[in-house]
Amino acid sequence: MLKHSTSLEPRKGLRIITPMGAPAANSSGAALEAIQLSKRYGRKPVLEGITFAVQPGEVYALAGPNGSGKTTLIRLLTGLAFPTSGVVRMLGQDLYNGGYAIRRVLGAVVEAPAAFYPHLTGRQNLEMVAFLTGMSRPEARIREVLARLELLAVADQPVRTYSLGQRQRLGLASAILHEPQVLILDEPTSGLDPQGIGRVHEILAELAWKGVAVLLSTHHLREVSAYADRVGILGGGRLLEEVRLGARGETYRLRVDDPARAAAFLKTVPGVQNVSLRDVSVVFEGSPNLALAALVRENFQVRFLEPDYFDLYEYYRERVKHASG
């Protein structure tokens, strides 16, 4: 059974984990780890105390407003910049001291669109990447990724003639060419049309299903929530919190005459869990039938009860707004 769905319907439920200041979760076996990463330029802090881990087969999305430190963090995670303090581990090895051997497991596009030799064709640029990553007989693999990214028709044209979307897709092709175990992408869908965005998300979900650890920065939160496992929300150079997607069971929302009192009562009802207030609605997990019957017995006036669909984008907007307020 596939672990990740390529459907772009919103996932249900969320659970907030690792609030800032809490100890890092056990990351044994992680493909990628950031441990207390901080970066300063002169006296200006850009990132402070970033800690998280990405497991094999997991998709981890980074979200944050412009200036929150996403690109700087990705540069640290790929070894293109050095932290002021902290460590990055890839497959358990220190990225900054592991040399070329550990970086061979990494595929990345940083500050997209990726840079290519403009006078060479797309195919020739991929041949150069294959040589630099030590691939032997890469012809079949090059054709495979060109086809997967719908670039065969322009594969033998100079890259200087490519559109922004074509260069963006060629960047992803170069990152996955050598079949890395860790894939790090900075805004991989920037400049793509809706069909191209869907294709990229489909490819990333498929790679995760095959065991690749995928980390990407993105503004397309509704689309990425269909297959991401966790989303890290950055703000002011800090990891504000992580959102684990699809971690809960069915979630429901109801409107009732006295929501605060109803929420307090539902917390005592067996079979109803994780009760909370959201504006004037009561949100809970568990059996909707048990919840409704219990409320009616206590003479609450229930106006409606329906499944609750978690909107990651709206949650992100609220979280960033409150963090900057």
Least confident of 62-71, 275-284, 316-325: 316-325
What's the confidence (pLDDT) of residue 239?
93
* pLDDT level of residue 9 (50, 70, 90 thresholds): very low
What's the confidence (pLDDT) of residue 308?
78
Least confident of 7-16, 72-81, 110-119, 227-236: 7-16
What is the rounded distance in angstroms from the CA atom of residue 161 to the CA atom of residue 78? 29
* pLDDT level of residue 7 (50, 70, 90 thresholds): very low
CB atoms near residue 258 (< 10 Å): 12
Please, where in the chain does CATH 3.40.50.300 lie?
32-105+180-244
Kindly state the tokens that stand for 250.
Answer: 């069915």
Please, where in the chain does CATH 3.30.70 lie?
251-309
Least confident of 111-120, 258-267, 287-296: 111-120
The residue among 62, 56, 57 whose CA lies nearest residue 77 is 62
Angle made by CA atoms 76, 199, 217, in degrees to the nearest 5: 20
| pTM greater than 0.85 (yes/no) | no
* Contact criterion met (CB below 8 Å) for 143 and 206: no
What is the rounded distance in angstroms from the CA atom of residue 202 to the CA atom of residue 216? 14
What is the rounded distance in angstroms from the CA atom of residue 82 to the CA atom of residue 38? 10
What is the rounded distance in angstroms from the CA atom of residue 112 to the CA atom of residue 110? 6
Which residues, other chains included, contact 186 with Cβ-Cβ below 8 Å and sequence gap of 6+? 70, 71, 74, 109, 110, 111, 112, 216, 217
* Contact criterion met (CB below 8 Å) for 245 and 11: yes
What's the confidence (pLDDT) of residue 249?
59
CATH of domain 251-309: 3.30.70
Q: What is the pLDDT of residues 124-152, one digit of tens each?
A: 999 999 999 889 999 999 999 999 999 99
Q: What is the pLDDT of residues 148-206, one digit of tens each?
A: 999 999 999 999 999 999 999 999 999 999 999 999 999 888 888 888 888 898 899 99
What's the confidence (pLDDT) of residue 37?
96
Domain 32-105+180-244 has CATH 1.20.120.1200: no
What is the rounded distance in angstroms from the CA atom of residue 186 to the CA atom of residue 108? 8
